[in-house]
Chains A and B, each alone.
Chain A
Amino acid sequence: MTVMRTAFLMFAVPVLLLAAALPVRALDWPVQKRIIIGTFGQDRGNRFLDGLDIGGGEQEVRAVLPGELAFRYDENEDYTSMPRGLGSFIVLQHDGRIETIAGTLKKGSLGPLKTKYAAGDVLGTSGDTGYSDGTHVHFSLYDEETASFLNPLSLLPQVASTQQPVIKRVLVSIGDTTVTLENGAKVPHGRAEVIAEAYDFRQDVKFLWPLGLYGVRMSLDGKEVSRILFDSLQEADGRLSLGSGKLPLGSVYTTEGLLRCGTVELRAGSSHLILSVRDYYGSETTKEFSFTVRE
Chain B
Amino acid sequence: MKNRRPASVFFTAVLLIVLYFALFPYPLGKELVAKPSWAVDIATTSSNSAAGDLPGSGDEGISPFQLGDLFGYVGPEGKLVHVGQRLFQTALSQTGYINYTRVGTDWIMRDPHGARLLAFSGFGYPLLSPDGRRVLVVSPDSTGLREVDGNGDTAWSRDFPATMTSVSLQGDFLLVGLLNGSLQLLGRNGRPIFQAPPSPSRIPVIYGCAVTNDGAFIASVSGLEPQVLTVLGRNGLSYTGALREILSTDYRREVRVGFSPDSRCLYYEDGRGVGLVEPSSGRTSSLSFSGKLAGCAFLKIGGLAAFAGRDGGRVDLRVVSPFVATFSSETFTAGDFFLGTIGGQLLLGLDGRLLRVDIKAL
Contacts and interface: CB of A to CB of B under 8 A. Distances in A.
A and B bound?
yes
B142 A47 contact: no
A295 B52 CA distance: 74
B253 to A, nearest CB: 5
A83 B180 contact: no
Interface in B139-189: 139-144, 157-168, 179-180
A85 B101 CA distance: 12
B318 to A, nearest CB: 18
Contact of A50 (B126, B143, B158, B292): B143
B78 interface: no
A72 B165 CA distance: 10
B252 A69 contact: yes
A235 B139 CA distance: 14
B256 interface: yes
Given A47-B143, A240-B143, 6 more contacts: A47-B141, A70-B252, A91-B163, A131-B103, A132-B102, A147-B161
Contacts of B143: 47, 50, 240
A47 B166 contact: no
Interface string B204-226: 01011100000000000000100
A130 B124 CA distance: 9
Interface in A97-146: 99, 101, 113, 115, 130-133, 138, 140, 142, 144
B50 interface: no
A2 interface: no
18 contacts: A47-B123, A71-B165, A71-B252, A71-B254, A72-B252, A79-B253, A79-B256, A81-B166, A81-B167, A84-B142, A85-B142, A86-B163, A91-B205, A131-B125, A131-B140, A239-B159, A240-B143, A240-B159
Contacts of A130: 102, 140
A99 B180 CA distance: 9
A44 B208 CA distance: 28
Interface of A: 44-47, 49-51, 68-73, 78-86, 91, 93, 99, 101, 113, 115, 130-133, 138, 140, 142, 144, 147, 234-235, 238-240
B139 A85 contact: yes
Nearest to B104: A131
B203 interface: yes
B117 interface: no
Interface residues of B, number: 47
Nearest to A142: B162
Given A115-B252, A131-B103, A147-B180, A83 B123 contact: no
Main secondary structure of the interface of A (DSSP, over half): loop
Contacts of A47: 123, 139, 141, 143-144, 159
Nearest to A78: B253
A69 B207 CA distance: 13
Q: Which of A82, A93, A132, A144 has the most CB of B within 10 A?
A: A82
A93 B203 contact: yes
Q: Which of A44, A84, A240 has the most CB of B within 10 A?
A: A84
A46 B143 CA distance: 12
Counting from the closest, the 7 A-B pairs by CB-CB distance are A83-B125, A85-B140, A131-B140, A235-B161, A240-B159, A82-B167, A238-B158
Contacts of B166: 81-82
Nearest to A50: B141
A113 B127 contact: no
